[in-house]
Amino acid sequence: MRIILACLLAVIGVTNIVEAQQSAVAKFTLPKNTTSHDYQAGKVMVKIKKEYKALFLEDNKATARSASLLGAKRIHSLAPRGTIKNPKARAQAFKPVIDIAQYFEIYFDPSQPVEDYINTLYASGYIELAEPVYTMHMQYTPNDPAFTSQYYLSKIKATEAWDITQGDESIVIGIIDSGVDIDHPDIASQLYVNQAEANGTDGVDDDDNGFIDDINGWDFSGADTLNALNPNYGGDNNPAIFKSGAGFTHGTQVGGCASAAVDNGIGMAGVGFKTKLLFTKHYADNQRTSDRNYSSDLYLGIKYAAENGARIINCSWGGDVRSQISQDIITHVTMDLGCLVVAAAGNSNVITPLYPASYDYVLSVAASDQNDNRASFTNYGPTVDISAPGVSIYTTSFDNNYSAPGGTSLSSPIVAGAAALVWANHPEYTSLELAEQLRVSADASLYDQNPGYINQLGKGRLDVLQALTLKSPSIRASNYRLLNKDGLDAAPGEDASLLFDFKNFLATSSSGLEISISSTSPSITITESKINPGSIASGATINNISTPFKLTLASSIALNSKVELLITYTDGAYRDYQIFTFVPNPSYRDIDDNRITTTISSSGRLAYEDTQNSQMGSGFFFNGKSLVYEMGVIMGNSSPTILNTVRNGSGGFDQDFVSVQRMEEIIPGERSLSEIFGAFSNSATAEEQKVKVSYRTLVWQNEPYDRFVIVEYKIKNTQAAALTDFYFGLFADWDISLNGTQDAALWDAPTKLGYVYPKVSTELPQAGIQLLTTKANYYAIDNDPSIAGGLSFGIYDGYTDTEKFKSISTTRSQAGVKIGGNDVSQVVSAGPFNINAGDEITVAFALHAAENFDNLLASAQYADSVYNYTLKASLPSIDTVEACYKANTTLKATGATKYKWYKDFTGGEPIATGSQLTIPAVTTDTTLYVSNATNTYESLRVPAHIVVQAQPGILTSRSTVLCDGDSVTLSVEEASEYAWNNGEITQSIKVKEAGTYSVMIKYEDANLNCVSTSSEVVVSILPRPMALFTITMASGDFVIGESIQFTDKSSDADAWFWDFDDGSSSIEQSPEYAYAASDTYHTSLTVTGANGCQDTYIKDISVITGVEQNLSRFVTVYPIPTIQNEVTISIEGLKAKNIGLSILTTEGTPVYDASFENIDQAFSHTINTSRYSSGLYFLATRIDGRLVVKKFSIIK
């Protein structure tokens, strides 16, 4: 069990957990730089282990008996009471993503250090996770009393959005904050009303939600800050505030931004318009007016709001410490209750994450000013999703007043109000789709003002009109896989394929979608950075297995180091990005292929890489129950030479090894179902190494081999001298019974199995370590040194190197002998060995768990037989056989007298016996397995491969669902002859027509002459929209600064993207635009249909600097109208050196262009107009850089 200093017992006076406290190891430590002001004294949040949930719940309530189990004053369950009022909540018949009934709020003696109490909780054995209740801080800046306009409404286009929707009173925003001025004229009419309580009986919980008379919300803090320490205080039903001050009025300011009343003739207008507000109060009435810290747990407010009708939850506050329990609450209200959580990114002008804004599923909001500049105070970074105005935000304040504070505290509710409008207009959205629509529609021109913060302020600045009208994809990557050429995890120095799952949350993407990756990390070199996956339907998820990104890993990537990737998405008007972080070189891996789940680390530990905090690993589980606290390697030939990875004599943990060969996993393994292998040593420097230990795990899935994991170590003496009297062992602190306090340890000599079992229960499992090689030793430890009575040592007072050497080199066959048992550990070792310089020995262990001793003993016998007999039996030989598609194929084994054939590497019954096996009509590459069954112990199975010149698969260059006019290339592997069913005879063909395609292929080689017909590929064609537009000029001239009206004339278009060829673009259907420079522009319109197909129409527009009216009298154009297929231009009375002539249509399209140089006399030039249609034209004459424009018409 865990270690704790004996002096702690004097300050913890709870008798029923004293024994657990004695054995507790410090499992929890407060984050660096955390002080007592950063968390609430006397209160923690916990997650109870699943198997003990029923013990702590009685009709969904925690009882006094539950509190006594944890030495608590009182505990409160977070399990909901009554019916969840959120219409987006998942039906209760579904398995929840988060089982909220495992979560509890615990009150304890506030004079007790929170670290000590949490470690006591972990020592109890009931707790999976325990954390302090961290203090949250408001995210606002001081008022600017001179600023009294709501500029932000026009900035985010709220007024235009209100022309589309004014929201819906059924949508409620939860304002989790300091409370509200409940009588404010711009707030009172917007308050959510719980009708069951409003129309019910006073003093009665009419809706049975656990909160009496909660008509408008709930006050979690009440009148006094001391309520936070009172385990019997449950809050009151009045979230109102009663005095002014920055802290008190914060919630009112936030609520006004979200949804203050509109069209009531006074004050201001909130973004949410008709949207209702539900307030929770977490600020005590007697707090200092300048206090920015909340006095009660805001995450309980989030949960309350989500369960009681709020669809959107605003959090204008945050803290620097990440809490897994808080993340679980966010996950629960999002994934199980269907809410959207919006949160302030923070006001510290740092890239450091703030929580809850940086939790998964939260829409994180940074602040901008009225000119789209980044607010000087706002946090930024890859966790920010969107920006919104947050400087001088005019909003409601206490006592019917108004103020103009700033901060991401105000940016967040502005986005929350926008979310309510969008949800009212698109009730079909899930909360995640709603968040993506807000994010993807944000105005990315924000970055024009903030070039130093690219991709650090979210997608852009909130645009409510766009959020209501834009139809765009929103694609997000997840589930990365980094594989080498063999399909295994890529190692440092290897070429790798990077695979993702890509989910499109919103509108179907077009066939032109491009996804690319980039990185500034020196750990990788990207060699193939772009893919074109084709159209991704709304809600669909695809992967890029067939077109992976390619990269090379640097050979020097440090263990557990992170690589940051920028993923860029491009599809017409859709421009998006995502920052993705992954770990290419982890230091530990889980083993979970049978009934045991455990972890092996690259540095000699088992169960956990980080034992002290029980992190970076899965522990040791059997049938879902955790059985171990600590497990690791001990080796040496004397006390001074001990090398190990377990606890030490001074309260910490030794870490004497470093990885010297990267940990890898292969499936299937060379000898078992899967194998993890690598090597560690006492030093990374070869000259300093004393030993090099190579390790390999072996695991099987089928009975009777599913209750153990084998760990094989090869210990090499890397020193110049012989290593004498050397021992190598595994230490384990098993906890079978609750806290391990009723366990005993014994030794079974015939099987060389040291095992631990619960003395007072036959319902709990048993576990142990078995030595599979020679020279076994066993040492059983009573962890409490007082139990041994001086005859042995314990480890509550530390585990010294002297004690470690004693435990690997001597024997003690039992521990926990007293009635009822006690906390025990064990060491199973091998030795002594003499290892010459450069030589190595093999020591192998089996880690077992079983339902009872009979099964444990049987498991040990099976482990011994498989390791010492099956794996060592001579193997049969068999060659790989090549075969044509659908040919009968015979496998022939040699090297034994009797053979057995199997479908799988492990498990299952034989499918045949004898030296030969014929497989009829083989269609794919096939692997069977054959064993040597000559002797009592059957050998390991050897793979027998059939390599088929398989039915050729047709490779496609892109999706076979084409837009009209597109093509796809179909190709097959190289062969000698090809015959496609459309008559073509090449290896690859380009297809534009719909149809079903196949190819017959003939192979010729020295062994086989196969003829095969491919599988079929179906190509389908989708109709393409037609892009077209016209141009109208207000002045009739294409002049700099003059507005040009672009009018869409397309058909079957669903989205529009204009490229004005000067770096500007638009997604309006028919925009107006003015060019700022003289040039010829290739202006294009790309339209996208509802099916994702696109079409582009391009016009050339020549823009001039302006017309020189004073030169017009020297220029003559005739005849007008032109009816003889000629037009003449004459320049008289003006001497010019260079003249240019252009004829343009009324839409600005050039149809004629010519230039003349070194003119020193009167000029005249005739142009043939026979190829031009009737209509009005412009003749633009450039005279030494000055422009004259004349109109003329052609009549035919």
Residues with a catalytic annotation lie at 177, 250, 409
Buried b (16+ CB within 10 A) or exposed e, 440-461: bbbbbebbeebeebebbbbbbb
Q: CB count, 10 Å around CB of 1124?
A: 9
Q: Tokens in use for 1167? A: 């142009």
- Do the beta carbons of residue 83 and residue 91 sit within 8 Å? no
Give residue 157's region: left, alpha or beta (phi > 0; psi -120 to 50). left
Q: Are strands 766-771 and 776-782 parallel, antiparallel or unpaired?
A: unpaired
**Does residue 451 have a cis peptide bond before it, meaning omega lies within 30 degrees of 0?**
no
DSSP state of 617: S
Residue of 977, 887, 955, 879 whose CA lies nearest to 924: 887
1080 Cβ neighbours under 8 A, 6+ residues apart: 1100, 1101, 1102, 1103, 1150
The Cα–Cα gap between 283 and 297 comes to 10
- Do the beta carbons of residue 1010 and residue 986 sit within 8 Å? no
Residue of 994, 1020, 993, 878 whose CA lies nearest to 939: 878
Query: With the C-alpha atoms ordered 438, 443, 444, 447, is the resulting torsion angle positive or negative?
Result: negative
Per-residue CA distances from 15 to 9, 10, 42, 123 (Å): 10, 11, 19, 14
Q: CB count, 10 Å around CB of 68?
A: 14
DSSP state of 1173: P
Helix, coil or strand: residue 349: coil
Per-residue CA distances from 974 to 987, 999, 1008, 1071 (Å): 7, 12, 15, 52
Helix, coil or strand: residue 1003: coil
Max CA-CA distance within the chain? Answer: 125
Residue of 848, 538, 572, 823 whose CA lies nearest to 710: 848
Q: Tokens in use for 316? A: 């204008």
- Do the beta carbons of residue 308 and residue 89 sit within 8 Å? no
Instruction: Give the up-direction half-sphere exposure of residue 137: CA atoms within 13 A in the CB hemisphere.
Output: 17
Residue of 51, 49, 75, 48 whose CA lies nearest to 61: 75
- Do the beta carbons of residue 536 and residue 502 sit within 8 Å? yes
DSSP state of 870: I
* Burial of 1151 per CB tally in 10 Å (0-12, 13-18, 19+): middle
Helix, coil or strand: residue 495: strand
The Cα–Cα gap between 81 and 99 comes to 14
Measured N-to-C along each axis, helices 298-307 and 324-331 cross at an angle, to the nearest 10 degrees, of 10
The Cα–Cα gap between 428 and 437 comes to 12
Entry field: residues in the chain: 1196
- Do the beta carbons of residue 975 and residue 884 sit within 8 Å? no
Look at the block and give the residue holding tokens 């002998």: 817
* Burial of 224 per CB tally in 10 Å (0-12, 13-18, 19+): middle
807 Cβ neighbours under 8 A, 6+ residues apart: 634, 729, 731, 779, 781, 827, 829
- Do the beta carbons of residue 690 and residue 719 sit within 8 Å? yes
- Do the beta carbons of residue 937 and residue 931 sit within 8 Å? no
